């Protein structure tokens, strides 16, 4: 049964890195980064975000119905997109896993700031963290500590949470 993994957490906590590693280790899994899709859409940022989420749902549906895993690394401080992902998994008969990579408020805000790609004040960053805490409190996802500087530990913790054995993918070489 294919899996749909919603990998939530604050920016800078390793979601994209962990998602890419999962996809690499479980081919042909799809690491579906909604932010990258949004960056491809011109125009109003809010409209681009809505369209990117719609495109992500369509892409995930296609990949899941083909029998392949999809992992979606995305900061989600509101439940609407999580609800859509959960409904999609139920609709196509995929396993659904809601995971949050987590850190302390202080570390998360520092990591937000050090990343340099988010244009937000410390007050706004703190509100984002609070929104994530509310999602955790109401949805009860699996929470995994994001160990700064040790993505391998975080990744192995994710695999344990998913009850997946770590087996590196077979690498083939072409005989020329």
Question: pLDDT tens, 119-154?
Answer: 778 888 889 999 999 999 999 999 999 988 899 999
- Tell me if 95 sits within 8 A of 2, measured CB to CB: yes
Q: Which domains does the chain have, with CATH numbers?
A: 3-162 (3.40.50.300)
Residue 48 structure tokens: 């681009």
The DSSP symbol for 67 reads T
Percent of the chain residues past pLDDT 70, beyond the cut: 91
In whole angstroms, give the CA distance from residue 57 to residue 63: 10
37 has a pLDDT exceeding 60: yes
Least confident span in 9-13, 57-61, 66-70, 119-123: 119-123
Which residues lie below 8 Å from residue 22, measured CB to CB, with a gap of 6+?
5, 29, 31, 69, 71, 155, 158
> Environment class of residue 86 by beta-carbon count within 10 Å: exposed (0-12), middle (13-18) or buried (19+)?
middle
> Could you give the angle at which helices 151-162 and 15-25 cross, rounded to 10 degrees?
60
How does pLDDT run across 154-165, given as a tens digit for each residue? 999 999 999 875
Q: In this predicted model, what pLDDT tens digit does every residue of 79-124 receive, in sequence order? A: 999 999 999 999 999 999 999 999 999 998 888 888 766 677 888 8
State how far the Cα of 132 lies from the Cα of 136, in Å rounded to an integer.
6
Q: Quickly state the pLDDT bin for 30 (edges 50, 70, 90).
A: very high
């Amino acid at each position: 049964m294919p899996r749909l993994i919603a990998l939530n957490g604050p920016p800078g906590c390793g979601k994209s890195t962990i998602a890419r590693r999962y996809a690499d280790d479980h081919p042909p899994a799809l690491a579906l980064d909604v932010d990258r899709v949004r960056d491809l859409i011109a125009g109003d940022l809010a409209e681009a975000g809505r369209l990117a989420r719609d495109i992500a749902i369509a892409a995930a549906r296609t990949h899941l119905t083909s029998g392949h895993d999809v992992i979606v690394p995305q900061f989600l401080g509101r439940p609407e997109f999580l609800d859509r992902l959960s409904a999609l998994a139920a609709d196509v008969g995929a396993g659904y896993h809601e995971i949050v990579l987590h850190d302390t408020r202080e570390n998360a805000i520092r990591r937000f700031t050090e990343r340099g790609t988010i244009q937000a004040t410390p007050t706004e960053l703190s509100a984002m963290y609070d929104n994530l805490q509310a999602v955790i409190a109401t949805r009860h996802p699996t929470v995994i500590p994001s160990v700064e500087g040790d993505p391998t530990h975080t990744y192995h913790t994710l695999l344990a949470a998913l009850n997946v054995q770590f087996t590196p993918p077979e690498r083939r070489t072409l005989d020329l």
